Amino acid sequence: MRVMHRILPFFVALAASTFAAAAFPANETSYVNVYIPAALHSDQPNGIRHKMSNFGRHPAIGSLDLPVYFYFRLCEFPVDSTQGYPPRDGGRWEPPFILMTPRGGCTFAAKARHAQMAGASALIIADTTCLCDDENCKSNNTWKNDGTCEAYEPTMADDGSGGDISIPGFLLYKDDATPLVQAIVDKHQSILMKIRWHKPQSDSVHFGLWMDILDDYSKKLFQDIGPIVNALGDRGTFFPHYMLHNGTRTNCGGAGGSGSGNNQSAPQLCENMCTNNGRYCYPTHRRNGTAVVMEILRRACIWKHHGPTKGDIGAKWWQYVLYFGEKCGDTFTNENCMHEALKHAEIPKNEVENCIIDSGDPTGDDPNTLLDAALRSQIEYGIVTAPRLWASHRALDDPTADALLAAICDMSGPGSEFSVCKQCLKNKDPVACVAKKYGTAKVHSKTFHILLWSGLLVSVGFFTYAYKRYQEGDGAGLSGLNPMAYAMLRDQDGGGSFEPATTQL
């Protein structure tokens, strides 16, 4: 007992230190840090600044404490595991290990695949470009510093082939990666790296949908997630995206092509498919692709001016899109219907038209900022196919409303569960449950509402008339009739306009 009493504090301290080392903010996806050498250790809550890959089929929760090897030529295959840093006497990398490589030369997914096939348990990519607002990086770094910078740290996104990747990947910011590279490559130091990742938990959730505007399944999925958006309210932020084709990749854009069919070098290639001189296209032979792109741009403008704010899920955008889908269908050239949709959602027509021109005139030869953002989002998030759902910091493998609801509910922490999760997640049909409790997406025209109110007013007027006639009569022998039935009988006797009801089938 005395021995146990003496060593118990040691085990308590060990457990506490282990927990402290492994813990990181619940709303963060991952943690990356160096523990040997201690001089490279970061005291930040989630360790060294980084971004985790959003592709692959690695476990949702994991922990690694492994040595790091650095290899320059990971875009080439096969990988030579006798090379790299720190140098060894002809020996191969001893598994398990983490493989580190510089950014550039091929896609993130290709590097992850090569690292996986070389036996790595995780991939670390060292960025080689500073952020433009990181003065420390631009002034102090020398490793691969060519003087260029970028506004945002790129997302470690899929290239469309990452479904076979089973190891996690992490992109380190240049200012944080450079000391590690210099320690391994220049000083030949051994590094022990700690990596943790889990499903982030938060009081609010960001999620999105990439849609093909003409695809029936995309439209069905959009309608299914509408009640989920409504159920989350201010605790959820939904962002919609529509798929576009970059016309410059197929000789449609700029000097190489035209979206309006004016390019004589390829008169049939991009005709009636693109805007902005072939930069943004929707390939189709059944519809006018140019009109489709214009509608995508119109919805982007509406989202820009009427997207989500506190207490509003972006109701006007939803009203416009749902009305358009119900009343206009896939007829994107019907301007009258489009104007009716704007009127229904109470969106000023000139506001949208000005936004379209200000973002980059679709009939001109200049880029459009909103359509550029749409193309960029596909690349940054690694979206290749549609429909595609995004939640929990990654693209979901299953593009269904059930999978989205499950991913959202996974993100809510203990004590802060979303109400819709408590009510519907364990239901036999969770999506139907959400739709029943939080409403399905239905829209009605103003004509419908006028007729509805007119009918109610007529009914009230008639009931008042009937009651007055009932009071004027003596009521003898008719006390069992209600006032409306009495009025109908009196009108029939007096040659009124009501016809006798029939009991015949």
Question: For residues 443 and 237, which has the higher predicted lDDT (pLDDT)?
Answer: 237
Q: Model's pTM, two decimal places?
A: 0.74
Query: How far is CA 4 from its chain centroid?
Result: 54
Query: Which tens digits make up the pLDDT trace of 72-114?
Result: 999 999 999 999 999 987 789 999 999 999 999 999 999 999 9
Query: Which tens digits make up the pLDDT trace of 286-313?
Result: 889 999 999 999 999 999 999 998 888 9
Range of weakest confidence among 67-71, 220-224, 360-364, 412-416: 412-416
Residue 474 pLDDT more than 70?
no
Residue 20 pLDDT more than 70?
no
Residue 467 pLDDT more than 70?
no
Q: What is the pLDDT of residue 368?
A: 97
Q: DSSP for 253-264?
A: SGGG--TTS--T
- CA–CA separation, 362 vs 390, rounded Å? 29
Residue 8 pLDDT more than 60?
no
SS (H, E, C) 424-491: HCCCCCHHHHHHHHHCCCCCCCHHHHHHHHHHHHHHHHHHHHHHHHHHHCCCCCCCCCCHHHHHHHHH
Q: What is the pLDDT of residue 207?
A: 93
Nearest to 202 by CA among 408, 425, 419: 408
Is 274:281 a contact under the CB 8 Å cutoff?
Answer: yes
Mean pLDDT, the chain, whole residue set? 82
- Can you tell me the mean pLDDT for 245-263? 65
- CA–CA separation, 93 vs 237, rounded Å? 45
In this structure, what are the phi and psi dihedrals at residue 380, rounded to the nearest 5 degrees?
-65, -35
For the purposes of burial, counting CB atoms within 10 Å of the CB of 406, is it exposed (0-12), middle (13-18) or buried (19 or more)? middle
Provide CB contacts within 8 A for 145, sequence distance 6+.
130, 138
- CA–CA separation, 31 vs 53, rounded Å? 13
Is 324:333 a contact under the CB 8 Å cutoff?
Answer: no
Q: What is the pLDDT of residue 342?
A: 97
Query: Which tens digits make up the pLDDT trace of 220-241?
Result: 999 999 999 999 999 999 999 9
